Amino acid sequence: MKEPEKALTPRLVKKMWLTFIFIIVLMGASYIFITGYFANMYNQATAQRVNADIANHLIEEKFQNTSPFLEDGSVNKALFGDLMHDMMAVNRSIEVYLLNNAGQILYSVVLDHSDNAPAKRVSLAPIKQFIENKGEAYVLGDDPRNPGEQKIFSVASFEADGQAGYVYIILAGKEFQLISENLLAQYFIKLGIGATLLTMLFAAFIGFISIWFLTKNLRLITRTIRRFQEGDLDARIENPEKSNIEVFAHSFNDMADTIVGNLDKMKSVDLLRRELIANVSHDLRTPLAILKGYIETLQIKKDTLSESEKEEYLQITHDNVDKLSKLIHQLFEYSKLEAEQITPIKEPFSITELSYDLIAKFQVIADKKEIGLHLNNPEENSMVFADVSLVERALQNLIENAIKYTEPQGKVTLSIKRKENNVEINITDTGTGIPVSEQPFIFDRYKQVDKNQKKMGSGLGLAIVKKIMDLHDTTITVLSRPKEGSSFIFNLPAYQS
Ligand code: ADP
C-alpha cells in the first residue's frame, strides 16, 4: 500500500518550514526597522534643508532696524511675541529661542508654556557646525524642551547693541513630532504588512523549491528502503552516483546486498542442515531397526537357535551399536566444527611419530582385511606446527577410508615428504577409486559416492577432514582413478627448530 508522500519526511520538512518562517519574520522586522529609521532621517533632513534659512530670514526681515534687546539690555519680549505669532501662523511646529553666544537661553517663545521647564542652555557644537556648512548638512541640536533629545533646527547669529548671540529655531517641535509619528505609524503598518507579505511570498516560493530539491533524494531513498522493508529484496536506489546524497545511496545499496547475501547464505546453510538431519535420521534408523530385529529374534527364538547363530546375531548387534556410536560421535564433532566452537591449539609436534602411532593402531584392522599398511618416511623426523589432536583426527579418517575402500591384498601407504616450508602428507590406496565427476563433492557434508555401497559410512568423515584443513588454512587435494586407487594430499607448515 502506498503511503502519502507527505508522511515520508514530515519532521524534516516541518523543521525546514519553521526555520523559513522564523527567517521571514526576522527579515520583515529588520526591513521595517531599517526603512523606518531611514524614512525618519530622510523626513527630518528634508525638513531641515527646506527650513535651513528660516533663522537667517528672521533676522534679516524682522530685526532689520530693531534689536532683539531693549535699551536696558533686556530681551524685547513684545517683538518676540509678535514674531512668533507671525511665524506660527505659517508653521505651528517650530519653537524659537534667543541664545547668547555661550548657548544660554535668554528668551523663548514656545507654543505651550505649561510644559516642563526648558533647559537653560544648549550645546554650541551643532550650532557652529550648522553655520559652517551654511545649513547644507544634516545636524541635530539639543531640544531645550526635552533635555537629552536631539532635533533638527535652524540657527543664525546676530550682533546688536554690543551683544552677540543666536536665534535658534527647533524645526520639529512637539507638534511636528506628533504628526510625524502618527503618519509614520500609519505608513509603517502599510509598509510593514506589504513588505512582509511580499518577502513571505518570495521566501515561501524559494523555500518550497529548495525543500523540494533537498528532500527529493531523501524521498526516493525512503521509498526504496520502505520497499525493501516490505519484502522487495531487489529494491535498490537507481544510479546512486547521480543522487545528491551519493554516499548514503551507495551505503544503502551495499547494505541491501550484504543482507541479501547473508539471507542466501543462511538459506543454503538451513537447506544443508535439513538435508543432514534427514540423512542422519535415516542412518540412525537403519542400524536401530537392525538391532531391534536381531534382539527380538534372539528373545523369541532363543531356545531354537544354535550357539553359532546366537553368536552371529550378537556380533551383528555389536557391529550396529558400534556404527551408531561412531555416527553420533562424528555428528557431534562435525557440528562443533561447523559452529566454529573449536579453536585449533597449534604447537610443534612430530608428524613422523604421530604417523607411526596411527599405523600401529590401524595395523590390526589392515591385517584382518589382508591389506598392507605402510609408512613411507624418508626423513628422520619431520616436525610440523599444528593442532595435534585435530591432525590426528583427520589422518584417522583418511586411513580409515583408505582401508575401507580397498579390497584385500591391496595397499595403503602414508608418505611424509619434507618440502620447503611445508611437510606434505599423502595417503594413497590401491582401492576402488572415486569417479572424476564425484571428486569435487566428496568433501561436502553427507556426500557418498554410491549410496548402495556396503561399506557405507556416515558421509561425515571427509567433511570433518575439510573443516580441520580450513582451521589450519590449508587445503586437501584428491587424486583418484576408479579401480586404480586414490591419493589424499595435504600440507602442514613445517616447524624449524
Ligand atoms: P563415509 O563415511 O561414507 O566414508 P566420507 O566423508 O569419509 O564418508 O567419504 C565420503 C565418500 O567419499 C565416501 O562415501 C566414498 O564414496 C568416497 N571416498 C572417501 N575416501 C575414499 C577412498 N579412499 N577411496 C574411495 N572412495 C573414497
Residue 148: alpha-carbon gap to chain centroid: 60
Same domain assignment for residues 353 and 466: yes
Which residue has its alpha carbon closest to ligand 1 atom 14? 448
Does the C-beta of 443 come closer than 6 Å to ligand 1?
no
Residue 119: alpha-carbon gap to chain centroid: 69
Q: Which of residues 42 and 434 earns the better pLDDT score?
A: 434
Instruction: Specify the ligand 1 atom closest to the Cα of 448.
Output: 14
Maximum alpha-carbon separation in the chain: 173
Same domain assignment for residues 352 and 464: yes
* In-domain check, residue 235: no
CATH of the domain at 64: 3.30.450
Same domain assignment for residues 121 and 148: yes
Ligand 1: centre distance to CA 434 (Å):
8
DSSP per residue, 52-97: TTHHHHHHHHHSSS--SB-TTSSB-HHHHHHHHHHHHHH-TT-EEE
The domain in which residue 17 lies consists of 5-44+180-225
Q: Cα separation of 357 and 374, whole Å?
A: 12
* In-domain check, residue 17: yes
Does the C-beta of 402 come closer than 6 Å to ligand 1?
yes
The rounded percent of the chain whose pLDDT value lies above 70 is 89
Q: Which of 278, 301, 336 is the last residue of a domain?
A: 336
Question: Quick one: average pLDDT of 327-350?
Answer: 87
Does the C-beta of 458 come closer than 6 Å to ligand 1?
yes
Same domain assignment for residues 327 and 349: no
Q: Which of 336, 365, 392 is the last residue of a domain?
A: 336
Please check the confidence at residue 247 and state whether its pLDDT lies above 80.
yes
Please tell me whether residue 423 adopts helix, strand or coil conformation. Answer: strand
The amino acid present at 168, given as its one-letter code, is: Y
Q: How many domains in the chain?
A: 4
Substitution site in 282, 400, 404, 442 for ligand 1 pocket (most atoms within 8 Å of beta carbon): 442
Q: Which of residues 4 and 234 earns the better pLDDT score?
A: 234
Instruction: Specify the ligand 1 atom closest to the Cα of 485.
Output: 24
CB 116 within 8 A of CB 108: no
Same domain assignment for residues 119 and 32: no
DSSP bridge partners of 413: 374, 428
Ligand 1: centre distance to CA 454 (Å):
12
Q: What is the pTM of this model?
A: 0.52
pLDDT digits (tens, 9 = 90+) for 236-245: 988 877 776 7
Same domain assignment for residues 105 and 197: no
CATH of the domain at 481: 3.30.565.10
Nearest of 369, 370, 376, 385 to residue 355 by alpha carbon? 376
Same domain assignment for residues 386 and 292: no
Does the C-beta of 173 come closer than 6 Å to ligand 1?
no
User: What cell numbers appear for 196 in the block?
Assistant: 512582509
Same domain assignment for residues 218 and 263: no
Ligand 1: centre distance to CA 349 (Å):
28
Does the C-beta of 429 come closer than 6 Å to ligand 1?
yes
Which residue has its alpha carbon closest to ligand 1 atom 16? 449
Same domain assignment for residues 34 and 58: no
Same domain assignment for residues 322 and 448: no
**Residue 143, φ and ψ in degrees, nearest 5:** -100, 110
Q: Which secondary-structure segment (H or E) carries 488?
A: strand 485-493
* Least confident among 29-33, 295-299, 350-354, 455-459: 455-459
Please check the confidence at residue 208 and state whether its pLDDT lies above 50.
yes
Which residue has its alpha carbon closest to ligand 1 atom 19? 401
Check residue 94 and give its pLDDT.
79
Substitution site in 324, 329, 434, 490 for ligand 1 pocket (most atoms within 8 Å of beta carbon): 434
Substitution site in 286, 326, 462 for ligand 1 pocket (most atoms within 8 Å of beta carbon): 462
Instruction: Specify the ligand 1 atom closest to the Cα of 460.
Output: 6
Instruction: Specify the ligand 1 atom closest to the Cα of 446.
Output: 6
Ligand 1: centre distance to CA 442 (Å):
7
* In-domain check, residue 175: no
Instruction: Specify the ligand 1 atom closest to the Cα of 406.
Output: 24
Q: Cα separation of 213 and 243, whole Å?
A: 11
Please check the confidence at residue 421 and state whether its pLDDT lies above 60.
yes
Same domain assignment for residues 361 and 478: yes
Dihedral class, residue 248 (left if φ above 0, else alpha if ψ from -120 to 50, else beta): alpha
Instruction: Specify the ligand 1 atom closest to the Cα of 464.
Output: 6
Same domain assignment for residues 436 and 452: yes
Neighbours of 33 (CB within 10 A): 12
- For residue 455, count CB atoms less than 10 angstroms from its CB and return exposed for 0-12, middle for 13-18, buried for 19 or more: exposed
pLDDT digits (tens, 9 = 90+) for 101-134: 888 888 776 644 444 555 678 888 999 888 888 8
Q: Which of 107, 142, 170 is the last residue of a domain?
A: 170
* In-domain check, residue 395: yes
